[in-house]
């Protein structure tokens, strides 16, 4: 639907960036924030400031929820189910997949048009070519809000299960934090001999940049389920490698706490007769009983 009026609930760093982008792309915006002072610059820039959530909803076709967490979302949406009727609600607040499903179930119970979203961008990226947002849940709700959502960045619809956008968000953030914590370990080790972390950052970027394309091979091997050690690195080889990293870290007086969980999985594979398997079969140990 073109020329929609959009209510933005939450004017933190992200809600503010989203509101500014919507104004820049010609959308009428109504804003609400718990701490009312944060709405003032937006009102000066052309948004309408609402004193209550209900007042913000009253004027809106689409409602973007950009609050802190699941609890704050439900605190403000639950009492206003009747007022939300007839509007498309898009929850961009970071939640877990099950929290997203729970809000979608609540919305369905009340006959609301609801889609869950996940923002794969920082506030400064909103509206730029590197901004990407994921959506899942009610396809009709997504289509109704699409024109608004595409102003924020690339919009990818993941499927009808409302938890899917959040699941991908959580999976990508998991990979990000594991990668970044690897850098922290490297910087901690190099710092022991006076190398600035800024120098190690450049080294790690170069090294990982060359290696990241290997992920495609790992992905294909995992999907094939064959784990061909002739093309990869087996468990015993990788155990020896990680063992050396742990010894080296400790030798420099640095904790190996970030590496030990991986070593534990490799030890278990070796102890159960899978020392000759490709080390990426660690993935088979991750599902919980």
**14 belongs to the binding site for ligand FVH (CB under 6 A):** yes
Alpha-carbon distance of 93 to 24, in angstroms, equals 22
The position carrying tokens 């159960």 is 272
Alpha-carbon distance of 257 to 129, in angstroms, equals 38
**127 belongs to the binding site for ligand FVH (CB under 6 A):** no
**75 belongs to the binding site for ligand FVH (CB under 6 A):** yes
Q: How far is the CB of 165 from ligand FVH (least distance, A)?
A: 12
Of the candidates 56, 57, 64, 67, which one interacts with ligand FVH according to CB under 6 A? Answer: 67
Q: Which is nearer to ligand FVH, 79 or 202 (CB)?
A: 79
Q: Which is nearer to ligand FVH, 14 or 50 (CB)?
A: 14
SS (H, E, C) the chain: CCCCEEEEECCCHHHHHHHHHHHHCCCEEEEECCCHHHHHHHHHHCCEECCCHHHHHHCCCEEEECCCCHHHHHHHHHHHHHHHCCCEEEECCCCCHHHHHHHHHHHHHCCCEEEEEEEECCHHHCCCCCCEEEEEECHHHHHHHHHHHCCCCEEEECCCCCCHHHHHHHHHHHHHHHHHHHHHHHHHHHHCCCCCHHHHHHHHHHHHHHHCCHHHHHHHHHHHCCCCCCCCCEHHHHHHHHHHHHHHHHHCCCCCCCCHHHHHHHHHHHHCCCCCCEHHHHHHHCCCC
Pick the stretch among 11-19, 130-138, 209-217, 223-231 that binds ligand FVH (CB under 6 A): 11-19
Of the candidates 7, 30, 119, 134, which one interacts with ligand FVH according to CB under 6 A? Answer: 119
Q: Which is nearer to ligand FVH, 72 or 102 (CB)?
A: 72
Q: Which is nearer to ligand FVH, 15 or 163 (CB)?
A: 15
Site for ligand FVH in 236-275 (CB under 6 A): none
Mark 88-107 with x for binding to ligand FVH (rule: CB under 6 A) and - for no binding. Answer: -----xx-------------
Q: Which is nearer to ligand FVH, 15 or 275 (CB)?
A: 15
Q: How far is the CB of 215 from ligand FVH (least distance, A)?
A: 22
Q: How far is the CB of 181 from ligand FVH (least distance, A)?
A: 18
Give the binding-site size for ligand FVH (rule: CB under 6 A).
22
**74 belongs to the binding site for ligand FVH (CB under 6 A):** no
Task: Note the residues at the interface with ligand FVH (CB under 6 A).
Answer: 10-15, 33-35, 38, 66-69, 72, 75-76, 93-94, 119, 122-123
């Amino acid at each position: 639907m073109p020329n929609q009026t959009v209510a933005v609930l939450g004017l933190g760093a992200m809600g503010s960036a989203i509101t500014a982008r919507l104004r820049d792309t010609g959308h009428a915006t109504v804003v609400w924030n718990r701490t009312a002072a944060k709405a003032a610059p937006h009102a000066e820039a052309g948004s309408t400031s609402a004193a209550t959530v209900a007042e913000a909803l009253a004027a809106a076709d689409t409602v973007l929820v950009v609050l802190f967490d699941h609890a704050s979302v439900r605190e403000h949406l639950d009492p206003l189910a009747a007022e939300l009727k007839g509007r498309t609600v898009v929850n961009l607040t970071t939640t877990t997949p099950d929290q997203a499903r729970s809000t979608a179930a609540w919305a369905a119970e009340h006959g609301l048009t609801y889609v869950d979203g996940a923002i794969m961008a920082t506030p400064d990226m909103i509206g730029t070519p590197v901004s990407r947002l994921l959506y899942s849940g009610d396809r009709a709700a997504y289509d109704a809000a699409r024109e608004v959502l595409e102003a924020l960045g690339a919009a990818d619809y993941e499927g009808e299960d409302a938890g899917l956008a959040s699941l991908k968000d959580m999976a990508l953030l998991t990979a990000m934090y594991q990668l970044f914590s690897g850098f922290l370990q490297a910087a901690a080790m190099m710092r022991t001999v006076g190398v600035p972390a800024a120098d190690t950052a450049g080294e790690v970027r170069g090294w990982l940049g060359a290696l990241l394309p290997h992920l495609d091979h790992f992905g294909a091997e995992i999907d094939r389920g064959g784990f061909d050690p002739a093309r990869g690195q087996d468990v015993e080889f990788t155990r020896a490698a990680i063992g050396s990293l742990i010894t080296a870290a400790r030798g420099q007086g640095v904790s190996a706490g970030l590496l030990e969980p991986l070593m534990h999985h490799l030890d278990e594979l070796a102890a159960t007769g899978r020392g000759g398997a490709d080390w990426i079969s660690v993935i088979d140990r991750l599902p919980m009983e």
